[in-house]
């Protein structure tokens, strides 16, 4: 599916009225602001159909792989954690922001009350709920791997 963006108002102009070709060019009229211009002025974005977007499990698997490759948090590393620390960290990310209770760690740093690690490892994404849930899922996967490795 192609999404057409109006250069004047920046809105989705996919429903733009097409005018007859003028010197072999197509002209559009934005349904939002009425901007009338050459098709080359409009930005066209090809969107992924919903069926091609990654699933939650794919995003979680990618995040877990990133944790292993970029952070070095391998199964061998995770086995060193105390019982349930990874699951508790996952719960902190899984809770909606409004449901979290925080404690002050000094220097203006706040972490969830039950956060099991040093404050530097608390990395919320308050404007991206999916990202936080993906982190939670990857931490759950790490906890499962830790338990299976015992």
pTM: 0.64
Q: How far apart are CA 15 and CA 33, in angstroms?
A: 12
Q: Enter the tokens of residue 84.
A: 């349930």
pLDDT in tens, 91-124: 999 999 889 888 888 788 889 999 999 999 999 9
The SS3 assignment for 130 reads helix
Could you give the residue ranges of the DSSP H alpha helices within 14-149?
56-66, 75-78, 85-94, 129-149
Give bridge partners of residue 45 from the DSSP assignment. 3
| Contact (Cβ atoms closer than 8 angstroms) between residue 130 and residue 59 | yes
HSE (side-chain half, CA atoms, 13 Å) at 135: 18
Residue 32's pLDDT band, with cuts at 50, 70 and 90, is confident
Q: What is the pLDDT of residue 51?
A: 59
48-82 pLDDT, tens digit each: 665 568 999 999 999 999 999 999 999 899 889 88
CA 15 to mean position of chain CA atoms: 28
Q: What is d(CA 28, CA 117) in angstroms, rounded to the nearest whole number?
A: 55
């Amino acid at each position: 599916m192609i999404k057409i963006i109006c250069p004047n108002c920046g809105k989705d102009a996919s429903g733009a009225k097409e005018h007859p070709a003028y010197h072999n060019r197509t002209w559009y009229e934005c349904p939002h602001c009425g901007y009338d211009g050459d098709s080359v002025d409009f930005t066209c974005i090809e969107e992924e159909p919903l069926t091609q977007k990654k699933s939650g499990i794919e995003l979680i698997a990618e995040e877990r792989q990133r944790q292993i490759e970029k952070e070095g948090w391998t199964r061998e590393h995770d086995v060193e954690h105390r019982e349930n620390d990874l699951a508790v960290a996952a719960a902190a990310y899984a809770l909606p922001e409004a449901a979290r209770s925080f404690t002050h760690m000094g220097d203006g740093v706040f972490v969830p009350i039950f956060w099991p690690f040093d404050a530097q490892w608390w990395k919320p994404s308050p404007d991206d709920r999916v990202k936080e849930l993906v982190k939670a899922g990857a931490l759950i996967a790490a906890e499962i791997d830790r338990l299976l490795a015992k």
